[in-house]
Amino acid sequence: MNENDILDSCLNALRQGATLASCVEKHPELSEESLAILQAAARLHDAGKRLAPDPAFKRRVRSNLMKRIAADQARRAVPARTQPAAPGLLQRWRAFLSGWRGSGLGWQPLAAALAFILIVTLSAGIVSAARGALPGAPLYPVKRLSEQARSILRRDDILWRLELAQHRLDEAVRLASQGDDATMDDALAAYVAILDDVARLLHDPTIFNAVASQAEPRAILLRQLDQLTTLRLQTPSHEATVDRAISAAARVLELLYPNAQPTPASTPAQPIQPAAPSGTPLPPTPSARPSPTLIVMPTAVMPQPTATAAPPTPTMPQPTATAAPPTPTMPQPTPTSPPAPTVQPPTATPVMPGPPTATTPPMATPPPTSEPAQTPTHQPPAATMTPPTPTMVPSTATPQPPTPTPQPPAPTMRAPTATSAPPMPPTVTIMPPAP
């Protein structure tokens, strides 16, 4: 056994309670250095025996510990009841920041990203809030700017421009309801400008072909005409402005659907026969596809008809240039169709009684209806009435060429109710499709 082994043996003996004297007695050959080591270990062991806390200290520390533990348990119990199981937004954010800190990417990219997100969010919020802004409102320029930005991307998009026109019209309606007639005029002027732009674009065959086959522009324009008619009733002092808007909408409607859509400004007026053709056969139905019926009843202040519009004669109605309604002299399309009236206007149902006077040329020509009215629902006014007006007749939106099997006439026409004295505003009525 060498010196180190003896030393280890003695150290182990000391750790287990043996005395230094017993070890020295057992191994007298130990060196001075080993003896010093053993003496140090013995002192250490002896000190460990004496260094013991008194009971008061242990009770004191125990009491402190129990108080701290109780407080800790109470603190943990409250969040456990109130906090949801999933980490909250704050905890997730802290975890994200902690992860970012550990990634070593630095704070500048994170700050830039957060600033970008903040700007985009605020911008989107402002633009969203500006959607309902009216002219004169602080956010209205933002609304127009947003529209202009989108217009750049949708330069040749007719639907987008019609949507823009709808925005201006909606603004005009809201301004009218608020009594702000002057600003309403501005909104309507903007509406007309947009529709003029649409009309210009429609001369491009590519654009025209892309949109003419769609039904949505027609629906938008018809809705706008309806809104304008209502607006005209609400703002009689701004008839001229509203009428310009009506003409613009009607013009676009005719451009888009030249064979189907009657417009007050493009079709010659039709004379109204005093004797309503009640029960008389009407032009055959061109197609089975139902379509809404547009009734426009302009007054004397309506825009003048186009130069091609011929004043009606008392006896011979003038067919429109685009429509191909049966004339009195035209043969009936089918042998089975009822006999055509000899002096019947092209439209299925006459709306205005009495022959128009020479001083009040008709404003528009009623095109033939696709769904001929079987039984007129109105009574012609008395012959003594002097309505300067209404030469407008109802018409269906999509007149089609006569078919060999004409459908029975349907009551699609709405008769003018009052044609005397105060001039009636033009009304645009969407009639339900004929069955």
Partner 1 sequence: MPDTAAANERIWIRQAQQGDAEAFARLYEQHVDAIYRYIALRVPSQQHVEDLTEEVFWRAWQAIDRFRPERPFLHWLYRIAHNLVINDARRAEKHRSYEMMTDMGHALMDETPSPEENLFRQEDIQQLRQAMTTLSPDEQTLLTMRFFDGASYDDIAPVLGKRPGALRVLQHRALKKLAKQLAPMRTVA
Which positions touch partner 1 (CB under 8 A)? 4, 7-8, 11, 14-16, 33, 36-37, 39-41, 43-45, 47-48, 50-54, 57-58, 60-62, 64-66, 68-70, 72-73
User: Shortest distance, CB of residue 53 to partner 1, whole angstroms?
Assistant: 4
Q: Return the number of the residue (52 or 307) whose C-beta is nearest partner 1.
A: 52
User: Shortest distance, CB of residue 66 to partner 1, whole angstroms?
Assistant: 6
Q: Return the number of the residue (26 or 68) whose C-beta is nearest partner 1.
A: 68
Q: At what angle do helices 216-234 and 239-256 cross, to 10 degrees?
A: 170
User: Shortest distance, CB of residue 23 to partner 1, whole angstroms?
Assistant: 14
98: left (phi over 0), alpha (psi -120 to 50) or beta: alpha
Name the nearest CA neighbour of 240 among 176, 312, 172, 302: 302
Q: Are 343 and 328 in contact (CB under 8 A)?
A: yes
User: Shortest distance, CB of residue 12 to partner 1, whole angstroms?
Assistant: 10
The three-state secondary structure class of 175 is helix
Q: Are 165 and 248 in contact (CB under 8 A)?
A: no
> CA 199, CA 251: separation in Å to the nearest integer?
8
Placement of tokens 């055509």 in the chain: 340
Q: CA-CA distances (angstroms) from residue 435 to 296, 302, 407, 411, 412?
A: 21, 32, 10, 10, 10
User: Shortest distance, CB of residue 113 to partner 1, whole angstroms?
Assistant: 36
User: Shortest distance, CB of residue 87 to partner 1, whole angstroms?
Assistant: 19
Q: Return the number of the residue (25 or 32) whose C-beta is nearest partner 1.
A: 32
Q: Return the number of the residue (13 or 133) whose C-beta is nearest partner 1.
A: 13
Name the nearest CA neighbour of 428 among 287, 174, 194, 253: 253
> CA 38, CA 282: separation in Å to the nearest integer?
133
Q: Return the number of the residue (51 or 215) whose C-beta is nearest partner 1.
A: 51
Q: Are 272 and 355 in contact (CB under 8 A)?
A: yes
Q: Return the number of the residue (73 or 417) whose C-beta is nearest partner 1.
A: 73
User: Shortest distance, CB of residue 35 to partner 1, whole angstroms?
Assistant: 9
Count CB atoms within 10 A of the CB of residue 153.
8
Name the nearest CA neighbour of 352 among 417, 284, 401: 417
Q: Return the number of the residue (60 or 92) whose C-beta is nearest partner 1.
A: 60
Q: Return the number of the residue (75 or 200) whose C-beta is nearest partner 1.
A: 75
User: Shortest distance, CB of residue 142 to partner 1, whole angstroms?
Assistant: 55
